[in-house]
Structure 1
Amino acid sequence: MQKDNAINTAANITLAEEVPTAIEINGISFAVMMLSPHDFENFVHGFLFTEGIVDNIHDIHGIDVKTSKLGVTVECELANRCVQRLQLRVRALKGAGGCGICGTQALEQVFPTLSSVMAVNTHISSNKTTVPAKSGHQINHSLHGLRSRLDEFQDKAQLSGAMHAAFWLDDMYRVLYCQEDIGRHNALDKLIGLLRQRQTDVSTGAILITSRCGAELVHKVVRYGVATLISLASPSTLALEMASQYGVRLIHIPKTDQPRIYG
């Protein structure tokens, strides 16, 4: 009897969804990702930007999402200059295997050199007055109780759990936008794509992620030009090194202790 009850209870639980999603660019297969099946356009705008395929939102001329029994295909039409960049990228990745030199090329593809966050923001908003960085005391005060307030913005996590989220916070660390996905990288790309389409000024404010803070997430944030990255789990040593190199302030909000500020 207890076994039947357990089965019935499990059958009533809402589980997180994921679908294989193929990204095609001007007819060229670029990547297959496992995505939560929502906000595909936000993901494409963020993913193609953080992967270095596009620079401007106008580089993307069209996005067509097609669903089949096998999954989802997202057909993207890009400007010709982006397709040339894509072809070089694909050729480099195909050559990454077999010898030491190819291995080095593969690592360079993973973390290509970027400009510092300050340089990116100076280029984007050269006519704006620089806002002084917050002190540790100001940050602790602004972040007080933030972790407990995040749940209300995570609609899909409330239904199924097992979801990562990425948030955009204003300069007072108030939540303005939230994007969710079963993958932590995907959630961040969806958020960046949303912010790019809304042409959000990111010279102030912060991104918050619910996952651990890995170097690859820091790299995405650096490319976008955000100077503060907050996580609910501690950063890796490589993430901290990369943040220091590019001028990103990392903040870890533990469950019980005070926020830990790096940089």
Structure 2
Amino acid sequence: MLPSERNDLNESDAPAPTSRRVPTLVVAYDDPTAREGHRDLAVEMPVNLVYGSVPYAVMMTTPSDLVDFAYGFSLTEGIVESVDEIRSVRVEDGDGGLRLVVDLAPGRLREHLARKRAISGRTGCGVCGIDDLAALPKAEPRAHAVQAVGIESIQRALLGMGDAQLLNHTTRAVHAAAWADRDGNLLALREDVGRHNGLDKLIGALMRERTDPREGFVVITSRCSFEMVEKAATFGAAILVAISAPTSLAIDRARLHDMTLCAIARSDTLTVFTGRERLLLAAER
């Protein structure tokens, strides 16, 4: 059924914009000039699902069709078995996000509250185990004493990623996270079906080698949502390069942590969203 045909929606079903326009700087590796512009990013927002008055889970979503999301999540998580067991869904503003307050039929609510919550870690979920908005991850802001990196170093790292992704060559089904030194040489790379897992593996390897986070930058093959920025910031990295686009919250967190965030990184250009001061263009070398 098309949205225009539905008659059961209200204003609370779309409480926030689903995209946000941000300023960008598009840089070509072989061109000394940069092109200013704008790009529309998908909005990423934490949504806390609450049953009765008890928080259950925080999910990162685009804030549209949230009532639909509450129904579908409730069914697929096994909280309800049919639509009749949900009496109503209310969308509320929360501290740093939104709350979906789901009113269950009395019998179903009692069964839900009696059951111990257990959401297994998913390959696509970055906040598994969190049941309240206040517990959303946030790294401690760090002062980054990092020398500027030439964009040709980023290009070198990107070009080296293909040959280094051995598992992806075989499966075409995994993400990679890599660490490059300031010259763009890849020093470590880890792969996983989950983009968050791949970055965690990389950070773990760098920790074990006692790698100085000021001496290089992180490259990820996935889109860049907020938790990828948070993980890189927790490690202490000041520069994060993503092959796909970032979300709105990723931009906000990169600014909060004073990080340089480059995304939509290709073999010929990359787009700078935050931290332009840490990049040296061809004309600035």
Asked whether 1:33 is paired with 2:121, we answer yes
Asked whether 1:155 is paired with 2:243, we answer no
Distance 1:145 1:206, change over 3 A: closer
Alignment partners' CA distance in 1, 2:209 and 2:178: 14
Instruction: Give the letter for the 2:158 counterpart.
Output: R
Q: Name the TM-score, length of structure 1 as normaliser.
A: 0.53
Instruction: Give the letter for the 1:115 counterpart.
Output: E
Instruction: Tell me which of 147, 150, 168 is aligned to 1:132.
Output: 147
- The CA deviation string for residues 64-90 of structure 1, in whole angstroms up to 9 with x for no partner, is xxxxxxxxxxxxxxxxxxxxxxxxxx8
User: 1:1-263 to 2 correspondence within 5 Å?
Assistant: 32-33=120-121, 93=130, 96=131, 106-112=132-138, 114-118=139-143, 130-134=145-149, 138=150, 140-255=151-266, 257-262=268-273, 263=275
Alignment partners' CA distance in 2, 1:205 and 1:164: 20
CA contact (8 A) 2:155 2:267 kept: no
Alignment partners' CA distance in 1, 2:177 and 2:197: 9
Which structure's residues are more often strand, by fraction? 2
Query: How many aligned residue pairs are there?
Result: 156
The offset of 1:256, in angstroms, is 5.5
- The CA deviation string for residues 165-222 of structure 1, in whole angstroms up to 9 with x for no partner, is 0001111121110100000000001111111111111122111100001001101111
Aligned-pair Cα RMSD in Å: 2.7
Alignment partners' CA distance in 2, 1:186 and 1:208: 14
Which structure's residues are more often helix, by fraction? 1
Alignment partners' CA distance in 1, 2:156 and 2:237: 23
3-state SS in 2 of match to 1:117: coil
The offset of 1:160, in angstroms, is 0.8
Distance 1:131 1:185, change over 3 A: closer
Alignment partners' CA distance in 1, 2:158 and 2:214: 23
- The CA deviation string for residues 92-120 of structure 1, in whole angstroms up to 9 with x for no partner, is x5xx4xxxxxxxxx1121224x32231xx
Alignment partners' CA distance in 1, 2:182 and 2:249: 26
Q: Name the TM-score, length of structure 2 as normaliser.
A: 0.49
Alignment partners' CA distance in 1, 2:235 and 2:265: 25
Sequence identity of aligned pairs in percent?
A: 31
Distance 1:148 1:131, change over 3 A: closer
Deviates more, 1:247-256 or 1:194-203: 247-256
The offset of 1:145, in angstroms, is 4.7
Q: Structure 1: which 5+ runs fail to align?
A: 1-29, 36-49, 52-89, 97-105, 122-129
Q: Structure 2: which 5+ runs fail to align?
A: 1-117, 276-285
- The CA deviation string for residues 24-49 of structure 1, in whole angstroms up to 9 with x for no partner, is xxxxxx984357xxxxxxxxxxxxxx
CA contact (8 A) 1:117 1:226 kept: no
Distance 1:183 1:239, change over 3 A: same
Moved over 6 A (4+): none
Instruction: Give the letter for the 2:135 counterpart.
Output: Q
Alignment partners' CA distance in 2, 1:253 and 1:172: 20
